[in-house]
Chain A
Amino acid sequence: MNHYYHAGDLGRFAEMGKGNPELWQKFQEYYAAVFADGALTEREKALIALGVAHAVQCPYCIDAYAKACLEKGSNVEEMTEAVHVACAIRGGATLVHGVQMRNVVDKLSM
């Protein structure tokens, strides 16, 4: 194994059920329920998932949800905006911690 990430491993996800089938089954049911049409459509949820996939920087999730977004009828302009939302939140989260930095500086400074 020369790499930590292999594209083919996404197709082996279900092997995680071998260690604890009961928890895997619960996870599968929960996952399916989360992504079903509800107050948000399947298409909207796939766009959110795509943004989150970029925020958590999971290559498997990016692969899966780029495809899922297309198969739910989204286009690359919408998908790009979802990635920008993730980017803005990550960037904003970094920047807002700057207030903590300022608090420290203010406390220490004359």
Chain B
Amino acid sequence: MKGSLQSRSSPLAAADEQRRVLAAAAVPPFETALADADLHPLRATGVRVLQINVGKLCNQTCGHCHVDAGPDRRERMTRETAELCMAALESAPSIDTVDITGGAPELNQSFRFLVERSRALGRNVIDRCNLTVLLLPSQADLAGFLAAHRVRVIASLPYHRPAQTDAQRGEGVFEKSIAAIRKLNALGYGDGSSGLELDLVYNPVGAFLPPRQQAIEAQFRRELRARWDVAFDRLFTITNMPISRFLDFLIASGNDAAYLQRLAGAFNPAAAAGVMCRDMVSVGWDGALYDCDFNQMLDLTVATAPAHVREFDADALAARTITTGNHCYGCTAGAGSSCGGSVVP
């Protein structure tokens, strides 16, 4: 796999260059589509999910990564900022779910503190897991830790066959991912009755939209059971966001214009009305607040509420106006896309 955009000194490593490319795309401005759907300006409906991105360090360098994460990245959340996140959580009873992401979030020294404290506060916890991290010698007890704290694991597996998965995530990743799923299955994850939930994430291995979630979930379940004897609970489809490394792929392969037009042409008002940013807040590794993880990577902090976790104001955030741009077409195309899969049936 290629290294991170930053390690390659790519212009697209800079958020402002990505924003420039997106703003110049030959599509109607996203705000026009929102206005046509009577959704402009887009407003939050509450704050139910606190998504914490603990940093860009990852043991993989996936070709589509919107974070530009990798082993070379050093940005990581400190214990002090993690404690500020937990103080914010304690102050906001409307938040029922803490969604921890990265990078590979488990590699952050405060990951287990965030899990333990969130659970002690009675909140649900999601670990956005790349699966292979579970096989690292330093993480030998990770699966047991996740199970002991009833953490819901949402894991990336873009396809049920090795070739497609490895093409996106790196040579040998599929085989390791299956080994990691077996490890989780052995603890009860994905068996449908233990209460330990293992969900998989499908995203297209290329410049096309995902299939209907229900249809591809059935295909994954059948193929993974028959060929690899592993189980999971639900499968979420996520559309590749045209930012960061996926934007780099789109430009390098000559698919950028057609992909943006495909997304814009598939704008779905019902998906726009249900986008995840309306009831979540995203925290960056340095404590800055964003409407979502994608805005975070584009350096678009929340605009109408205090924008750092030390000034966390749940009421102001629940009433905020959400910052949008042409990248938002990635969440509103077809059945829509969110961290919880498609937005509309």
Contacts and interface: CB of A to CB of B under 8 A. Distances in A.
A43 B210 contact: no
A67 interface: yes
A73 B215 contact: yes
Contact of A41 (B161, B164, B204, B215): B215
B209 A75 contact: no
B219 interface: yes
B79 interface: no
B208 A75 contact: no
A75 B159 contact: yes
Interface string A40-70: 0111000000000000000000000001001
B334 to A, nearest CB: 9
Q: Identify whether the interface residues of B are mostly helix, strand, loop, or mixed.
A: loop
B208 A73 contact: no
Interface in B140-189: 159, 161, 163-164
Contacts of B219: 43, 73
A71 interface: yes
B336 to A, nearest CB: 15
B224 interface: no
Nearest to B261: A11
Interface residues of B, number: 14
Interface in A65-103: 67, 70-73, 75, 77
Contact of B212 (A42, A67, A70, A75): A42
Q: Which of B206, B209, B215, B216 has the most CB of A within 10 A?
A: B215
A43 B215 contact: yes
B210 A71 contact: yes
Contacts of A71: 204, 208-211
Contact of A72 (B159, B161, B206, B215): B215
A42 B215 contact: yes
Contacts of B215: 41-43, 72-73
B161 A70 contact: no
B161 A43 contact: no
A75 B206 contact: no
A43 B164 contact: no
Contacts of A43: 211, 215, 219
Interface of B: 159, 161, 163-164, 204, 206, 208-212, 215-216, 219
Interface of A: 41-43, 67, 70-73, 75, 77
The 7 closest A-B pairs by CB, nearest first: A73-B211, A73-B216, A70-B208, A72-B211, A71-B209, A71-B208, A73-B219
18 contacts: A41-B215, A42-B212, A42-B215, A43-B211, A43-B215, A43-B219, A70-B204, A70-B206, A71-B209, A71-B210, A71-B211, A73-B211, A73-B216, A73-B219, A75-B161, A75-B163, A75-B164, A77-B161
Given A41-B215, A73-B215, A75-B164, 10 more contacts: A43-B215, A70-B204, A70-B206, A71-B210, A71-B211, A72-B211, A73-B211, A73-B216, A73-B219, A77-B161
